[in-house]
Structure 1
Amino acid sequence: MRIIFGLVLIVGVALAGFAVHMTRGYLSTYQAELDREKAMRSSSVQTEEIFVLTQRVTYGEQILPDMVKKVRWPVEAIPEAPFQTEEQLFPEGPEVPRSALRTIEPMEPLMLSKVTGAGEVAGVASRLSKGMRAFAVRVDVTTGVSGLLRPGDRVDIYWTGRLPGGQTETTKLIQSSMPLVAVDQSADEERQSSVIARTVTVEATPIEVAALATAQSSGRLSLALVGHNDDTVSASVEIDKKTLLGIEEEQFVEAPREEVCSVRTRKGGEIIVTQIPCTN
């Protein structure tokens, strides 16, 4: 009996030790999983819901409620002024949609800069900033950069005419880096065809509008295209024909008159004038 009892005791101790070992292994594995989950949570990307399009739309098309949906977007990659609520996207209700100001691809975030106001159609008025005005400038193949202008480009505007009292024509830079909002009757930035425009419309302040109107009525306006990445500020530019050809203006200096001294004598009824050296 003692032998059997001893064997049972030994087997029981062995089983208890094995159970303790298995429990420790299980607890270690469980703790490792907890630590890994905590690490994953700490390094997870924070997201927020924004509206995206479910289909492609082009310039001028309306954006209807069944064309959008919400998706989770990384917070660090959210663009400026996205639509995050239905009240923002359709402030006057789903029956008053916005229109696209450019081509928007599927799953592309909807942003305030890509669409018009609620109920507005895509056009020049929707592209004007607050306090700005649209002014049309007459151009042709030479003054309009040979049909290469597109809405969204920036141009320098030069005036050519005669200054008051001037004898020759002068060309002067009057406005620098003005944004174009339309070419002829189109405000579509993605128009691919090149056309010889008859008018281009620039965005300007009321004072700039007055200056351009005066310049257009008193001379000729020409445009120069500004590069997209060019942020330099153009200095004052004014050139006339003499400056262009390097002709210096002649200055006439009147030669001093030679002083003449004389003596008058009378002989009878005749007066005789005799020149003499000046003694002063």
Structure 2
Amino acid sequence: MSPTKRGVLLIVGALIAGGAGIGFGDRHLQQRAEAIEAELRSDHATRSVIVARDDLPKGSQLSRETVALREMPLAFTHDSALADSAWSRIAGRTLDRPITAGRAILPAHVKGDDRARLAEQITPGDRAITIPVSGSAEIAGLLAPGDRLDLMLTYRDRSQRETVPLLADIPILATGARLGDTRIGQGPGRYDDLTLAVSPVEAARITHALAIGDIHVVLRADTDDTPVQGYRIDATALIDKSPAADSDSSRPDVELIIGGQR
């Protein structure tokens, strides 16, 4: 073999060996990088939390434009940091203190809003429904969340108006926009509606009752668990005081659902 051919073969062999070495080196570096990344992930687990997109001053409103989701190491993330699943509870609310960009948002940063927490007051299986207080303003102005009510329905049956018990022992969730206990020294305030906790069937009854007549509220004592008997009151029952009339008026003519005991 001539020296020229031998030199060419040596050069080609060197190039092949060099390329193989580079390939093996790249693979080794990639495997090493993957191993280091896996080790970091195991040592520094992360979770997705809501953070301030920019520096937000006190009073800023939380919206999709002012916050972002970030993966943050568990070791450096506050236990109360809010995840994406909590967004519906804080969307639209305002900050009670300033937050710097990139910092996780905590419940303590968000100004309290009773209306935003209404869903948290509903027992699973119940529903919240709002009724107007017209027709019972005298007592309604003295009601508070936590009170229990009986509901009466007045409607027109053929040619005359009648009143019947609709529901009994229904708890109040909110009076107007007020949810929960009143602060010391704060009066009852004025409101135009009551929010009640009822079952889905009771919610349907109230909805239909509002469509055909007027609902009036009757306050119960805190310790009163007495069931309400069914009855029907009309103009004749108000005027006729004979025993026969009393017997007729006491006969249960309507079905009554007792609330608050599900």
Higher RCO structure, 1 or 2 (CA under 8 Å, sep 6+): 2
TM normalised by structure 2 equals: 0.47
Structure with more helix by fraction: 2
Between structure 1 and structure 2, the one with the greater Rg is 1
TM normalised by structure 1 equals: 0.44
